[in-house]
Structure 1
Amino acid sequence: MGKDIRERLAELGLTLPGASAPKGAYVPAVRSGRFVFIAGQIPLTGGELTATGRVGAEVSPESAKALSRQCALAALAAADSVVPLEAVTGAVKVVGYVASAPGFLGQSAVVDGASELLIDVFGDAGRHARSVVGMAVLPLDTPVEIEIVLEAAEDPAV
């Protein structure tokens, strides 16, 4: 992606949040070779869950899509804590977990929020492989959780 990543975020009206502190015995992100593995991110505002509940019941699909986008932005912040975003060359994989009410079948559309953010930020380099899973419940009663793998330039000083 290169040095204009922060300019691109600003153009999109986005502000990179601070990386969230882990909610357990793990780290927010780990770099291994060219890859940055980002722990599952949940939608937080001011350190608190932005919303709780299951999509299709307490949370609308439209709201959940926006929460998914918020999770992806948090994932970029987590990545930035281990490698400068300027070194990121693209997205590799997204895994989305959606707490789903019985009968809710729109999980893929919810996770489109995260996928679209990566494409908005990185352009074609933001296109990625993806898995989406519907769950009965997620940690802390969050409606969505997003996990991302990014690729970075070999030289972290890029």
Structure 2
Amino acid sequence: MSTDIRERLAELGLRLPEASAPKGAYVPAVRSGTMVFIAGQIPLSGGELTATGRVGAEVSPERAKELSRQCALAALAAVDSVVPLERVVRAVKVIGYVSSAPGFLGQAAVVDGASELLVDVLGEAGRHARSVVGMAVLPLDAPVEIEIVLEVEADGTP
């Protein structure tokens, strides 16, 4: 990348959080060749959920979009735990899960928070394929969960 990701985060007034500890029998991120698969990130701060509930009921769509952005930032921290952020080449795929109240149809706009963060930080390399799914409930009653796949520079590491 032409712009250092850490510099770009600072320009945006963002700080990379600590990578979240797993809440089960998995790891935050796995590198396989030039791909990094990031486990689903829920909106945590200091190991505690930032918000709970369903979007369109207990959580507003606007707040959920902010939480989605927070999840994407946490995903970058998870990447940094397995490969330095400076080695990120591009975002490949985002999968967003939105805990949705009955009748709530704005899931895509909620996950735009994560998508926009990746473009803000990575520029054109942040544009990605995406899926968005409405769910009845997510782990720990989180309103959103974001999963990301990134491509990183090859260096011979499996």
TM range (shorter): over 0.9
Counting only pairs closer than 5 Å after superposition, residues 73-152 of structure 1 correspond to structure 2 as 73-152=73-152
The structural deviation recorded for 1:155 is 2.0
The structural deviation recorded for 1:47 is 1.1
2:12 corresponds in structure 1 to: 12
Residue pair 1:2, 1:89 contacting (<8 A) in 2 also: no
Deviations for 1:30-59, whole angstroms, at most 9, x for unmatched residues?
000000000000001111000000000000
Equivalent-residue separation in structure 2 for 1:34 and 1:7 (angstroms): 23
Structure 2: stretches of 5+ with no match in the other structure: none
Residue pair 1:84, 1:156 contacting (<8 A) in 2 also: no
Q: For the aligned residues, what is the CA RMSD?
A: 1.2
Give TM-score, length-normalised by structure 1: 0.97
Residue pair 1:19, 1:74 contacting (<8 A) in 2 also: yes
Equivalent-residue separation in structure 2 for 1:125 and 1:12 (angstroms): 17
- Structure 1 residue runs of 4 or more that deviate by more than 2 Å after TM superposition: none
Residues 14, 102 of structure 1: CA spacing in aligned structure 2 closer, same or farther, 3 A cutoff?
same
Residues 16, 156 of structure 1: CA spacing in aligned structure 2 closer, same or farther, 3 A cutoff?
farther
The structural deviation recorded for 1:154 is 0.2
Equivalent-residue separation in structure 1 for 2:34 and 2:25 (angstroms): 24
Equivalent-residue separation in structure 2 for 1:111 and 1:123 (angstroms): 18
Equivalent-residue separation in structure 2 for 1:88 and 1:156 (angstroms): 15
Identity of aligned residues (%): 84
Equivalent-residue separation in structure 1 for 2:45 and 2:83 (angstroms): 23
The structural deviation recorded for 1:156 is 7.5
For these two proteins, the number of residue pairs brought into alignment is: 157
Give TM-score, length-normalised by structure 2: 0.97
2:46 corresponds in structure 1 to: 46
